[in-house]
Amino acid sequence: MQKKARFESKILPYALIVPQLTIIFLFFLWPAFEAIYASFHLSDAFGLEVKFAGLENFTSLITDRGYLETFGRTAIFSTITATLSMTVGLILATVANRALAFKKITRTLLIWPYAIAPAMAGILWMFLFHPSYGVIGFFVNHVLQLGWNPVLNGKHAMALVIIASSWKNISYNFIFFLAGLQSIPKSVLEAASIDGASPAKRFFSIVLPLISPTFFFLIVMNLVYTFFESFGVIHMTTQGGPGSATTILVYKVYADGFIGQDLGSSSAQSVIMMLLTIVITFVQFRFVEKRVHYSGAGS
């Protein structure tokens, strides 16, 4: 029997999706159009002097060496953060999947970081790792004498924001990986181990392919997270510094638009980020999805 919903009234189905469509329009489509419009204009902060500027905002971005460096930084930041976050999430999910004492408590505790606002996470990590007044930072500098200084050393600052950002997203990956792992039929794993497959072989040949839909979904979500939601952490810890070392694309959009009041350039950067995200998502669906193994519904 088909599980299609049937409505008697012709208007009801449309009326039911109107709220969702309204929200999508108000919070996604309208701002996107405004950003595209603003990116083609030079405007002063108060919006009283708006001049058409053609592609000028875009060309001045492309010729700005600082902006091009930002791309490289974002690539490094996103790749490392996504990889770190997903790997740790997967390891924790694998461990939590086994029959453990305190299973429920462990799982609940592992989900907590996701509930924290990114800005809070940034503040927390700053209070841990600041070279002068951070608990761990002080310990590293005075006891271990290691010279940890994210305030002045760009690489240290990048490491700090990578750790803080990936920490926040581990819970998200953990939940999905756990669900994916739990949907793997025990019979398949048991058959493999009877056939003499080692745990490692079982993991890489059976478990990973079977959770590849989850994996694929999480790659997309993690990349989007590192592009956009990492802003909160960076703003609270390093403000894009020192010396632009942690200025990734989304932070530059904020700095130019809200501190510099340069709305044209900031909008152009937003548009470029939007196109970039669309291309990456498209590439992923086109090429990576081909390798995803979707099993039949609920066996």
Positions in the binding site for another protein (CB under 8 A): 7-9, 12, 15, 42-49, 51, 60, 64, 66, 131-133, 151-154, 239, 241-244, 255-256, 258-262, 264-265
Range 200-206, long-range pairs (CB < 8 A, 24+ positions): 203/94
The nearest distance, CB 185 to another protein, in angstroms, is: 39
CA-CA distance, 110 to 118, in Å (whole number)? 16
Token code pair at residue 150? 């994210």
**Shortest distance (Å) from residue 152 CB to another protein:** 5
CA 218 to chain centre: 9
Give CA–CA dist 177/89, Å, rounded.
7
* Between 42 and 175, CB nearer to another protein: 42
Q: Which two tokens stand for residue 67?
A: 């902006």
Tokens found for residue 252: 């530059």
Six-digit token pair at 98?
């086994």
CB of 67 to another protein, least distance (A): 11
- How far apart are CB 235 and another protein at their closest, in Å? 11
**What is the rounded distance in angstroms from the CA atom of residue 7 to the CA atom of residue 5?**
7
Helix (H, G, I), strand (E, B) or coil at 41: strand
Amino acid sitting at position 56: E
Q: 292 and 216 in contact (C-beta within 8 Å)?
A: yes
The amino acid at 35: A
When the beta carbons of 87 and 261 are compared against another protein, the nearer one is: 261
Query: Which two three-digit tokens encode residue 270?
Result: 């937003």
The residue (of 94 and 244) whose beta carbon lies closer to another protein is 244
Joined tokens for residue 111: 């989900």
* Angle CA 133–136–137, to nearest 5: 55
CB of 10 to another protein, least distance (A): 12
Contact (Cβ atoms closer than 8 angstroms) between residue 106 and residue 96: yes
Q: How far is the CB of 56 from another protein (least distance, A)?
A: 8
C-beta of 253 vs 256, nearer to another protein: 256
Residue 170 near residue 84, CB atoms below 8 Å: no
Q: Which is nearer to another protein, 212 or 262 (CB)?
A: 262
Q: Tell me whether residue 41 or residue 107 sits nearer to another protein (CB atom).
A: 41
User: Smallest distance from the beta carbon of 263 to another protein, in angstroms?
Assistant: 9
Whichever of 152 and 191 has its CB closer to another protein, that residue is 152
What DSSP designation does 294 have?
P
- Minimum CB separation of residue 128 from another protein in Å reads 16
- For residue 288, the Cα-to-chain-centroid distance in whole angstroms is 18
